Amino acid sequence: MSLVSSQALQMEMPSVQRERPVVLHVDDDIGSLLMAEGALEEAGFDVLHAADGKEAIDMYRSHEPDLVIMDAVMPVMDGFDAIKGIRKLPGGLHVPILMITGLEDLDSITRAYDEGVTDFLTKPVNFYILPYRVQYLLRSKLTADALRVSQSKLDNAQRIARLGNWEWCLGNQSMSSSREFGRVMGLLEGQVVDNWDEFLDRIVDGDRQSVRVMAEHAVDEKQPFNIEFCVPDLHGESTRRIRLEAEPYCNESGECTHMMGTIQDITERTNAQKQIHDLAYFDLVTGLPNRAQLNEQLRYTLKLAKRNQGKFALLFLDLDHFKQVNDTLGHDAGDALLKQVSGRLVGVVRGGDMVSTTSENIDFDEIESPHTVARLGGDEFVVLLSQINRAEDAARVAERIAKSISTPYDIGEQRVSVTTTIGISVFPADGVTTEVLMKNADIAMYHAKESGRNGYQFYSRQIHEQALARFSMESELKNAIENEQLTLVYQPKVNLDDGSVSGVEALIRWDHEIYGTVNPTEFIPLAEETGLILPLGRWVLCEATRQMQAWIDGGLEPIIIAVNCSSVQFMRSDMITDINTAIAYSGLDPHLLEIELTESLLFKDIELGIRSLRDMKALGIQVAIDDFGTGFSSLTYLKRLPVDKLKIDRSFVKDLGVDAGDVAIVSAIITLSHNLNLTVVAEGVETRQQYDILHGFDCNEAQGFLISHPMQADEMQQWLIRATNRVERKVS
Ligand code: C2E
Ligand code: MG
Ligand code: MG
């Protein structure tokens, strides 16, 4: 970057033209003065005289003549110094000065031009021609004045518009630009950008590349373009937003040689637009989106949900007895309360765990909350949950909102309590248009108010009841985990060739005080959806390993204990840590622990699956693929998985001996497993016939009601003792 002389910003004004232009004639030769005066006055000029340079400067200052005729050699001060002096006076810079000199040497001529002379005449002067010469000089001065005024007006207009123009020569990449261009680009006064790369360097990092690419594209295509970008301001403290417009210029052979364009500082305009937007779309008191923005968001959400067959919910909130706060504490207190309420609403909705957290769900911690909290006015708010899996998700948020809102507020010196009532509508069950969904959420809110405030109500009774039922089951399950109402039962597995016990599988049960024993198929999915599977899974690992070690300590032969693991555990929790804890806690030999995983989760992210399996294997534990055949596993992947066992799902075993297809599948799975050096276990063996067929196919192990139903721990212990004795008897 280079510096050019700095000039104060000043507006050139057109000079007022005199009726008879005034000429100052400076000469120490009185004869010349008189000759010239006659000719000039006759030609319509008024003439002033000065006898030396010093007098000339004084005369210029007091009379501001339109033109100066200056002799070169004079006493007191010569013409050269006089010109220098005049050029420094106000208005003196542009006044035409005609130097008359007897000297013909080039040095003097050069010096005269250096001092700023406009033109010169050599002596002897032709006094007939002099007035013409003066006239031409005055005329060109007027043209130059007009040009300067126009340039100055343009500068001024550019300054007012914060708009600069520029030209980029593609041949040598040089750039020229107007003064305002520099100011818009945040340059110092006098600093200029003189090539394209320097210009790009001024643009902030995030925008530079797009300007470069766009410009190159425009050059290639010979197309105009425009783009917005940011540059640091003069002090480098903030950025200014700039809009650039450009057009290509081509030579006669159609080759693009130049780009010309403008840049304009649009920071204020952009800010004003944002302000207008904010006023139109945000609530002034709380800063939350207002009804207009909610409607837009709602339309967008609806479109998306229709396309993806998704679900979303609208929560219509009304503060209970808010009017009393306004009436007793005043509107300022009311506004302060509304602000705090909105802060809490946003907090709840942004909370990462507000919607169920199965692995299929979006992880709300990782994305900006897709949900909207809006204030409709007064004490009415709407929460749009734009992605839910089921109605309970909305119920869960409603519960949390109600709880959060009901915590007391400090408003000035006062402590205030309010509650809220919430109506919920769910797409698509409660409506398929934004209007209907809003109306139904509102209706639901009124029903909720009627049935006692501080609660929530779904528009549809059926959804409401379902949500409540699942909800209460969820909290009961939570209690069950905390209060150890969960137990494990055990089911043995036997080797098919000698009938000896190869291991036992731990299966969870929920001993519910009202429903009795609840099977895992009924509550594991719920535990997975709510994340309760994580503490539950940890408990199972600890309890199963503890039990096996207790049996060994009680004298039983060590056998493998298999524990089922949910996909959510596998994907989300640090399973290795959980396994290590269980092993350390129980003291069980890790080789006696087997983890059963269902195939679907392994193939969801094969690389992650392989990594986690390797970590498990490194601990020395066994890994089995459970329910094999029900997922979508690819046999090629199976080869890559570091597992020890396959458990053929009982749906294939069930019809062995009945369905030829199943026979073929089971036989193929067994052959394949053996080729891959995997042990095969058949699940759900209920009949002797199934057992024999499996035996015939060389299946390694069997598990099922034929051998034993799952049993309580003490029953299992007795069974194991008897089984060992049986085998021992057989052997002896
Ligand atoms: P699974 O791992 O395939 O367990 C075998 C299931 O088949 C058990 O059902 C068992 O009772 C049942 N079963 C065993 N033999 C036979 C038979 O001959 N015929 C028939 N019809 N069924 C038989 P259960 O205990 O209801 O468990 C169901 C599923 O729940 C398990 O399938 C497993 O996926 C899951 N599960 C059980 N316990 C846990 C646990 O602690 N954690 C996790 N994450 N999942 C578990
Ligand atoms: Mg299993
Ligand atoms: Mg199974």
- Over residues 509-516, the mean pLDDT reads 87
How many domains are contained in the chain? Answer: 4
Q: Whole-angstrom Cα distance, residue 561 to residue 559?
A: 7
Q: Are residues 405 and 494 in the same domain?
A: no
Domain assignment of residue 72, yes or no: yes
Domain assignment of residue 179, yes or no: yes
Q: With cut-offs at 50, 70 and 90, classify the pLDDT of residue 431.
A: very high
CATH (domain of 568): 3.20.20.450
Instruction: Tell which wins on pLDDT, 82 or 530.
Output: 82
Counting atoms of ligand 1 from 1, which one is nearest the CA of 686?
Answer: 18
Q: Is 599 in the pocket of ligand 1 (CB under 6 A)?
A: no
pLDDT in tens, 646-696: 999 999 999 898 888 888 989 999 998 999 999 999 999 999 999 999 999
Task: Print burial letters for 510-523: b (CB count within 10 Å at least 16), e (below 16).
Answer: bebeeeeebebeeb
Domain assignment of residue 118, yes or no: yes
Which one of 491, 493, 564 would you pick to mutate in the ligand 1 pocket, going by the greatest count of ligand atoms within 8 A of its CB? 564
Q: Is 686 in the pocket of ligand 1 (CB under 6 A)?
A: yes
Atom 45, ligand 1: residue with shortest CA distance: 564
Kindly tell me if the per-residue pLDDT of 9 is higher than 70: no
Instruction: Tell which wins on pLDDT, 731 or 580.
Output: 580
What distance in angstroms lies between residue 564's CA and the mean position of ligand 2's atoms? 5
Q: Is 110 in the pocket of ligand 1 (CB under 6 A)?
A: no
Atom 10, ligand 1: residue with shortest CA distance: 710
Kindly tell me if the per-residue pLDDT of 355 is higher than 60: no
Q: Are residues 295 and 257 in the same domain?
A: no
Q: Are residues 412 and 505 in the same domain?
A: no
Instruction: Tell which wins on pLDDT, 208 or 355.
Output: 208
pLDDT in tens, 13-34: 556 567 899 999 999 988 888 8
Domain C-terminal end among 432, 459, 486: 459
What distance in angstroms lies between residue 514's CA and the mean position of ligand 3's atoms? 28
Q: Is 627 in the pocket of ligand 1 (CB under 6 A)?
A: yes
pLDDT in tens, 679-688: 999 999 999 9
For residue 565, which ligand has an atom nearest its CA? 1
Q: Are residues 493 and 441 in the same domain?
A: no
pLDDT in tens, 705-715: 999 999 999 99
Q: Are residues 312 and 348 in the same domain?
A: yes
Q: Are residues 203 and 79 in the same domain?
A: no
* DSSP strands (E only) in 124-173: 163-169
Angle at Cα 698 formed by Cα 695 and Cα 701, nearest 5°? 70
Q: Are 476 and 483 in contact (CB under 8 A)?
A: no
pLDDT for the residue numbered 10: 52
What distance in angstroms lies between residue 626's CA and the mean position of ligand 2's atoms? 5
Order of strands, sheet of 175-177, starting from the edge strand that comes earlier in the sequence: 175-177, 163-169, 256-265, 239-250, 225-232
Q: Are residues 480 and 432 in the same domain?
A: no
Q: Whole-angstrom Cα distance, residue 612 to residue 574?
A: 10
What distance in angstroms lies between residue 79's CA and the mean position of ligand 3's atoms? 113
Domain assignment of residue 98, yes or no: yes
Q: Return the percentage of the chain with pLDDT > 70, whole number.
A: 92
Helix axes 331-350 and 391-406, enclosed angle (nearest 10): 140
What lies within 8 Å, CB to CB, of 523 at 6+ separation is 473, 477, 510
What distance in angstroms lies between residue 648's CA and the mean position of ligand 1's atoms? 13
Claim: this prediction has a pTM higher than 0.85: no
Q: With cut-offs at 50, 70 and 90, classify the pLDDT of residue 8.
A: very low
Domain assignment of residue 465, yes or no: no
Q: Are residues 640 and 582 in the same domain?
A: yes
What distance in angstroms lies between residue 683's CA and the mean position of ligand 2's atoms? 9
CATH (domain of 44): 3.40.50.2300
pLDDT for the residue numbered 571: 75
Q: Are residues 244 and 317 in the same domain?
A: no
pLDDT in tens, 371-385: 899 999 899 999 999
Domain assignment of residue 112, yes or no: yes
* Token representation of residue 31: 């004869």
Atom 37, ligand 1: residue with shortest CA distance: 507
Which one of 494, 504, 507 would you pick to mutate in the ligand 1 pocket, going by the greatest count of ligand atoms within 8 A of its CB? 507
- Over residues 110-119, the mean pLDDT reads 85
Kindly tell me if the per-residue pLDDT of 730 is higher than 70: no
Domain assignment of residue 275, yes or no: no
Domain C-terminal end among 401, 432, 459: 459
Q: Are residues 678 and 572 in the same domain?
A: yes
Number of Cβ within 10 Å of residue 603's Cβ equals 15
Q: Are residues 116 and 196 in the same domain?
A: no
Q: Tell me the residue range of the domain where 189 lies.
A: 162-265
Q: Is 565 in the pocket of ligand 1 (CB under 6 A)?
A: yes
What distance in angstroms lies between residue 55's CA and the mean position of ligand 3's atoms? 116
Only one residue has tokens 């004639």, namely 25
Q: Are residues 541 and 518 in the same domain?
A: yes
CATH (domain of 236): 3.30.450.20
Domain assignment of residue 292, yes or no: yes
Instruction: Tell which wins on pLDDT, 404 or 635.
Output: 404
Kindly tell me if the per-residue pLDDT of 124 is higher than 70: yes
